[in-house]
């Protein structure tokens, strides 16, 4: 800090940035502590989705004249703690005055084999790393970025594509699949979060809507070569002590055809829109 740039010493080959805007990504119902950690964790989740180890971050803050010192202290302290917890160095930043409270964090990362979207093949099995839905109950603030899962996936050559779930499974999966593949899902196999079960009881239709459409799950969704699926599942369980969730597979997409179908009925699931946002 104090020079015109921060001097970094890493072999980083990944970079990502993400922002938070007051009134849009957080408001007075979120403590500054949760907001500060969320800013970093959104970016950590992007590095996790690429199978990377996070390295260094710079933070740009936009502060209204009347921002409270207590808020700012809570935000920055929590950001710093979250960085330490994830072995990430905050090496520089910028402060600008603005009518709207906001912040941008840029994070670098390192991945020997970066995981990407649109690189799966017909027949690949689609997995999700954890339960989905009703993130709005608190998970969108308290989630843990899946860095260890991402690094495990990057080290497994049978993993063909990966991303993190931010806009909801129904909206994100077409992006994982790319133009030429269609995701054939078995909705029964998508694991609902405990908050989703609590919200929906045994209303099956409602559960499906939440696991497909709710945003900000921050779980990883990825594809694995079919011939390696069983050994992959055993390796995952050995590594993480819990299951990975097989939710469908990639099939060839007809030109102009649906991007998401029910694997049993073949019906299009494209009408399940994910969380629509600009942020």
Interface residue list for its own copies (CB under 8 A): 2-9, 11-21, 23-25, 45-47, 49-50, 52, 56, 58-60, 62-63, 91-100, 102, 104, 106, 108-109, 114, 116-118, 163-164, 175, 277-279
For its own copies, give the closer residue by CB, 227 or 276. Answer: 276
Which one, of 181, 174, 266, 187, lies nearest residue 221 by Cα?
174
Q: Please state the closest distance from residue 189 (CB atom) to its own copies, in A.
A: 24
For its own copies, give the closer residue by CB, 62 or 195. Answer: 62
Q: List C-alpha distances in Å: 166 to 64, 68, 120, 275, 279.
A: 28, 30, 20, 8, 10
Query: Residue 260's Cα: distance from chain center in Å?
Result: 20
Q: Please state the closest distance from residue 193 (CB atom) to its own copies, in A.
A: 22
For its own copies, give the closer residue by CB, 30 or 229. Answer: 30
Signed CA dihedral, 142, 148, 149, 154: sign only: positive
Say if strands 245-252 and 181-185 run parallel, antiparallel, or are unpaired.
antiparallel
Q: Please state the closest distance from residue 207 (CB atom) to its own copies, in A.
A: 27
User: Do the beta carbons of residue 260 and residue 272 sit within 8 Å?
Assistant: yes
For its own copies, give the closer residue by CB, 83 or 229. Answer: 83
160: left (phi over 0), alpha (psi -120 to 50) or beta: alpha
Q: Please state the closest distance from residue 4 (CB atom) to its own copies, in A.
A: 4
For its own copies, give the closer residue by CB, 114 or 226. Answer: 114
For its own copies, give the closer residue by CB, 165 or 208. Answer: 165
Q: Please state the closest distance from residue 16 (CB atom) to its own copies, in A.
A: 4
Q: Please state the closest distance from residue 20 (CB atom) to its own copies, in A.
A: 8
Beta partners for 26? 22
For its own copies, give the closer residue by CB, 266 or 279. Answer: 279
**What per-residue string of b and e applies to 57-86 under the rule 16 or more CB within 10 Å gives b?**
bbbbbbbeeebeeebbebbbebbeebbeeb
- Count CA atoms within 13 Å of residue 203 on its CB side: 10
| 3-state secondary structure labels for all residues of 44-106 | HHHHHHCCCEEEEEEEEEEECCCCCHHHHHHHHHHHHHHHHHCCCEEEEEEEEECCCCEEEEE
For its own copies, give the closer residue by CB, 221 or 260. Answer: 221
């Amino acid at each position: 800090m104090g020079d015109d740039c921060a001097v970094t010493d890493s072999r980083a080959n990944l970079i990502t940035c993400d922002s938070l805007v007051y009134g849009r990504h957080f408001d007075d119902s979120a403590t500054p502590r949760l907001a500060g950690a969320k800013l970093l964790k959104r970016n950590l989740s992007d590095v996790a989705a690429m199978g990377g180890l996070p390295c260094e971050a710079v933070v740009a803050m936009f502060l209204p004249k009347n921002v409270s010192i207590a808020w700012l202290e809570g935000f920055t302290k929590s950001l710093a703690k979250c960085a330490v917890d994830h072995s990430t160095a905050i090496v520089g930043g910028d402060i600008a005055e603005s009518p709207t409270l906001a912040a941008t964090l840029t994070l670098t990362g390192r991945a020997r084999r970066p995981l990407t979207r649109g690189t799966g093949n017909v027949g690949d099995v689609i997995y999700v790393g954890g339960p989905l839905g009703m993130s709005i109950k608190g998970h969108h603030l308290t989630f843990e970025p899946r860095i260890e899962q991402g690094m495990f996936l990057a080290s497994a050559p049978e993993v063909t594509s990966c991303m993190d779930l931010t806009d909801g499974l129904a909206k994100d999966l077409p992006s994982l699949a790319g133009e030429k593949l269609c995701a054939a899902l078995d909705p029964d196999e998508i694991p609902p979060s405990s908050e989703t079960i609590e919200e929906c009881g045994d209303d099956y239709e409602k559960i499906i809507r939440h696991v497909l459409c709710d945003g900000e799950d921050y779980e990883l969704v990825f594809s694995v070569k079919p011939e390696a699926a069983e050994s992959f599942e055993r390796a995952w369980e050995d590594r993480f002590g819990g299951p990975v969730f097989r939710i469908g597979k990639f099939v060839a997409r007809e030109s102009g055809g649906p991007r998401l179908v029910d694997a049993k009925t073949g019906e299009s699931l494209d009408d399940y829109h994910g969380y629509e946002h600009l942020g």
